[in-house]
Amino acid sequence: MLGSFLDYLRFEKRFSEHTIKAYKIDLSEFVLFAEINTISDFSSISSSFVRSWIVELIENKLKAKSVNRKLAALRTFYKWLRKEEIIQTNPMTKVKGPKNEKRLPCFAKESELHSSKLDLVFDDNEKGIMDRLMMEMFYQTGIRLSELINLKKADVSNGKIKVLGKRNKERLIPVSNDLINLLNQFYMIQSSDKKQSEYVFCRKNGQKLYPTFVYRRINYYLSLATSLDKKSPHILRHSFATHMLNRGAGIETLKDLLGHANLSATQIYTHNSFAQLNSIYKQSHPRG
């Protein structure tokens, strides 16, 4: 039933496979809730019925962010139904989701990610150098987990990396000489199969890494280097953004580096930046 819509997301909208999988799950849950048997049944769905689905999701302790993600999938689907002239009216135009809880991004302190401290937690062998390179790549560029896994050797050149982000949107990120030197050191000690791979980070057979492998390695080293409760590659992305703002980077520049489509997604980091300014003020001003 949903096959044509998923192909539309994949080939016309150019959504990532991760997003397509999530949309498929969300829509399948709605189909089950609404007891829909054919695609034409969607025309009988009213906005009040969609709201009843929202109520059930919330009663099942689903967070507002997750509810809104499911509604986003349903909105996109109904827009496609209208585009294909399968339905005449779109019930989603009168549906609003719950307000998302505003939470500040969690990030590490600059001192916790200082090179001198990280030197102590990584081994000086191929495995240790690869782990160090992954961690530095996350922290120095702010890339996402999926972007690191898919990074190819050809994407690194002339002091920058080319990243293929969400919806296949390309962006260029400058990298430091230290990171390039670490990358070259990593290339030199790789096994022959890995050297022939097109990916920067790969398994013994030359294939790209699994997300869970990268997550576990970063989680392990963040446990050694920081006192954070949350320890994931995304924490390093948050740390990159926060530290850039604290050191004077412009919000527009940060938006481009992070690959955000809208400035509103980047502005959440300004709260952390203000918190840093407030802390400095209280420590420095005689009336603080």
Q: Annotated catalytic sites, by residue? A: 144, 166, 234, 237, 260, 269
Q: CA dist 141 to 28, 126, 236, Å?
A: 36, 22, 9
Facing residues of 208 across strands?
202
Phi, psi of 219 (to 5 degrees): -60, -40
For residues 141 and 244, the answer to whether their CB atoms sit within 8 Å is: no
The phi-psi region of residue 14 (left if phi > 0; otherwise alpha if psi is between -120 and 50; otherwise beta) is left
User: Tokens for 75?
Assistant: 């909105």
Domain boundary among 59, 94, 129: 94
CATH number at residue 159: 1.10.443.10
pTM score of the predicted model = 0.71
For residues 198 and 151, the answer to whether their CB atoms sit within 8 Å is: no
> Domain check: are 174 and 233 in the same one?
yes
Task: Tell me, yes or no, whether 164 lies in a domain.
Answer: yes
Task: Tell me, yes or no, whether 106 lies in a domain.
Answer: no
pLDDT of 45: 97
Task: Tell me which H or E stretch contains 162.
Answer: strand 160-164
Structural domain boundaries enclosing 164: 111-284
Walk along the chain (288 residues) and give the pLDDT tens digit of each residue.
Answer: 789 999 999 999 989 888 999 999 999 999 999 999 999 899 999 999 999 999 999 999 999 999 999 999 999 999 999 999 999 999 999 999 998 877 778 999 999 999 999 999 999 899 999 999 999 999 999 999 999 999 999 999 989 999 988 878 899 999 999 999 999 999 999 888 888 999 999 999 999 999 999 999 999 999 999 999 999 999 999 999 999 998 889 999 999 999 998 898 898 888 766 666 666 667 766 765
109-121 per-position pLDDT tens digit: 999 999 999 999 9
Give the residue from 225, 242, 230 showing the smallest Cα distance to 132: 225
Domain boundary among 94, 129, 154: 94
Alpha helix stretches (DSSP H) within 226-262:
233-246, 251-258
> Domain check: are 170 and 85 in the same one?
no
Task: Tell me which H or E stretch contains 164.
Answer: strand 160-164
> Domain check: are 133 and 193 in the same one?
yes
Burial of 288 (0-12, 13-18, 19+ CB in 10 A): exposed
> Domain check: are 266 and 149 in the same one?
yes
Angle 189-110-238 from CA coordinates, rounded to 5°: 85
> Domain check: are 18 and 122 in the same one?
no
Query: Total domain count for the chain?
Result: 2
Alpha helix stretches (DSSP H) within the chain:
3-7, 17-34, 47-59, 64-83, 115-118, 126-141, 145-149, 177-189, 192-196, 211-225, 233-246, 251-258, 263-266, 268-284
Domain boundary among 39, 62, 94: 94
